Structure formats: structure tokens, C-alpha cells
Amino acid sequence: MAYTKKIATAAGTLACAVGIGFVMQSSETAKVLYGSETPAEAPVQVQLPVEDVDTSALDGPILDVHDITLTSALGEDPADPADLVASQDCKVAATAIPSGLGLVELSLAAPCFPNERLVVHHSGLKFSETTDAAGNLEMSMPVLVDPAVIVVAFANGDGAVVQTPVPSLDQFDRVALQWKGDAGFEIHAREFGADYGSQHDIWAGAPGDPVEAISGEGGFLMRLGDETAPDALMADVYTYPSGTSRHNGIVDLSVEAEVSLFNCGLEIEAQSLEVNNGDITSRNLTLAMPGCDTIGSFLVLNNLIQDLTVAQK
């Protein structure tokens, strides 16, 4: 049937650094997962072979962050004091303060970069943000290692580096998925047998409540990145309070990509990051999306990110 043919075509174009359970859900099935009726057909799962992939598009150029310095050519008059003050005012300054739940409050002051795109780097995680009209940025972000080193860089190489301890980070399990542009990716974390669309199906559309993480009741997700910025770098980061959990069982983790007008018929790329005992494991994915006649369907990758096994504390 046509539905099965679409699945086989999509599955044949998937390449990943690991074998991945792959499901394509029709738009009718998607209505069930994300709100509406019963599915017309059950999804079909396909196991795919291991292949090497080229991830150079995700890697990007070598990061070069430097401070602004004021120099004068040999034989010229010394710099005007007013120019010196202006250059000092252009210095990029950043601070990072831990705020609980393995999060850091990042503050950036860059008065010469109003409404400017920048990239935040941290232990392999990277996403783009935009300063406000005064050149400032205030945000909360999850970190992956303790102590956390965070680099903030503008396109011309100017930026800042900050480091902060992150107390109790080892009390949390954390996974991330990052991608570029309108790829349509998202993480779903279905906690302890939760159905799609239920309270404990955690994803960008229903990110959970950090208060529940404080009490050990459930996890939460943060989407990082300004999707309106040019060449936007985006990331989903899911956190579960494994060290204080009040539940036993499995958190089912899947990566999903919706077929849309912006990605249909194109190759899209992503990278997962998983923290295990302080070590970070990354996996790269290249996925050829099916044609634009399947818009509204979802591709579900079941094993790109390992499920979490949680024991009550």
C-alpha cells in the first residue's frame, strides 16, 4: 500500500552512526500522538544498518574568540583618550552563576553588538542566541559537566569565556539533541510508560515543570536557541532528577522529525549528546526526509538516544 511504500523509501535513506529503530507515522497517526483521533494504521518499525556519515556540516569552523585591544601604527600619534574609552566600552563581558537543577544563569554585556547573533558553546553543546537592543543577553541554560566552561562568540570572533562550579549536577540525568535551521527535530521523553500527549510525555510543546524535578516527581525539557536568527543552531535538552527520583522504571527517549515545507525532500542532520558518569557520548545523524506529499507525518528514531533506567532513591 502507499503508506508502506513511504516507510520503505524513507528508511532506505537513513544513515546514522548506530543502528536505529525507525518508524514513519502518517499524518493520521500523528494526530493521535499529538492530539486527535485513532490511527488508521499502526506504524511499521525497521532496523537499519550501521553506516559512517559525514558530519562536517555540524562541526563548523574552528572557534576563535579574542579580546578587543587598542593599537596604533608606528610613528602615528597616540590614540585619542575618547577613542580609548569607546574601545573599552566595547568589551564583551559575561558571567555565569549556578541556580540549581544543574542550570546556570548566563549574563552577557556586549554594548557594541546590539541585536546581534552569537553562539554559545559548552562541552560540545552549541546553540545560537541574539542580543537585545542594548547588546545584552540574559538566559538560563542546562550544563553537562562540572565545572562548566561556557564560551560566547560573535561572528567576528569577539566574545567571552566564563567558568562556574555546578553543585549537585551528578544528581541529574541529562541528554541533548542539537541541529541547524528548520530541520524539525524534537526529543520526546515518555516517563514510566506515559502515553503520547499525556502529562509525562515531555517535549518542546509540553516541557514539564522544573518544580517537579526539585521534588523528584518528573523531568523537564529546555529548548535552546533563537529560531528566528539566521543559520539558527537549536538544541533540546531533557533533564531527569535521577538522584532524588520518587519513581522506578524506564524513561523512553525518542528523537522525532516532522516532515514540513521547510525540510521535505532534503537531508537534515543532528547530533545527540548523553552524559554518563561525567563522560559525554555523542552520536551523529544524517536523515533524508521523504517528499513533500508526506507533510505532517513524523519520523521516529527509537534508539539514537538511550532510554533512562531510573531507580527510586
* pLDDT tens per residue across span 135-178: 999 999 999 999 999 999 999 999 999 999 999 899 999 999 99
Residue 45: strand pairing partners: 23
Give the model's confidence band at 28: pLDDT under 50 very low, under 70 low, under 90 confident, else very high: low
Phi-psi region of 89 (alpha: psi -120 to 50; beta: other; left: phi over 0): alpha
Band (3; pLDDT cuts 50, 70, 90): very low
Residues 271 and 141 in one domain: no
- Asked if residue 301 and residue 182 are part of one domain, the reply reads yes
> Are 46 and 176 in the same domain?
yes
Residues 6+ apart with CB under 8 A from 284: 16, 17, 53, 55, 58, 269, 270, 271
The verdict on 35 and 177 lying in the same domain is yes
Q: Are residues 176 and 272 in the same domain?
A: yes
227 and 298 belong to one structural domain: yes
21-25, 88-92, 207-211, range with the lowest pLDDT = 21-25
6 plus 73 within the same structural domain: no
For residue 241, is the peptide bond before it cis, meaning its omega torsion is within 30 degrees of 0? no
Domain stops at, among 164, 183, 204: 164
Q: What is the pLDDT of residue 23?
A: 54
Lowest model confidence (mean pLDDT) among 7-11, 102-106, 300-304 = 7-11
pLDDT at 87: 61
Question: Comparing 53 with 167, which gets the higher pLDDT?
Answer: 167
User: What sign has the CA pseudo-torsion 200, 237, 274, 183?
Assistant: positive
Domain with 122 in it: what CATH number? 2.60.40.10
The C-alpha atoms of residue 121 and residue 128 are separated, in whole angstroms, by: 9
Residue 271 carries which side chain, given as an amino acid letter?
Answer: Q
Q: What is the sign of the dihedral through the CA atoms of 260, 261, 266 and 268?
A: negative
Domain boundary pick from 164, 188, 210: 164
Taking Cα atoms as reference points, which of 166, 155, 158, 175 lies closest to residue 96?
Answer: 166
Residue with cell 515531555: 202
- 3-state DSSP assignment of residue 170: helix
The answer to whether residues 180 and 290 belong to one domain is yes
| C-alpha to C-alpha distance for 297 and 257, rounded to whole angstroms | 9
Say yes or no: 246 and 215 in one domain: yes
The per-residue pLDDT for range 257-289, each reduced to its tens digit, is 999 999 999 999 999 999 977 789 999 999 999
Q: Residue 147 carries which DSSP code?
A: S
Split into its structural domains, the chain has a count of 2
Range of the domain at 81: 61-164
Helix (H) or strand (E) holding 8: helix 2-11
Lowest mean pLDDT among 41-55, 96-110, 146-160, 271-285: 41-55
DSSP state for residue 83 in the 8-state scheme: H
Q: Are residues 190 and 223 in the same domain?
A: yes
Confidence of residue 88 (pLDDT cuts 50, 70, 90): low
Are 296 and 186 in a shared domain? Answer: yes
Query: Pick the residue with more confidence: 230 or 120?
Result: 120
Q: What is the pLDDT of residue 278?
A: 78
Determine the Cα–Cα distance for residues 18 and 285; give it in Å rounded to an integer: 9
Domain C-terminal end among 164, 197, 214: 164
Residues 236 and 194 in one domain: yes
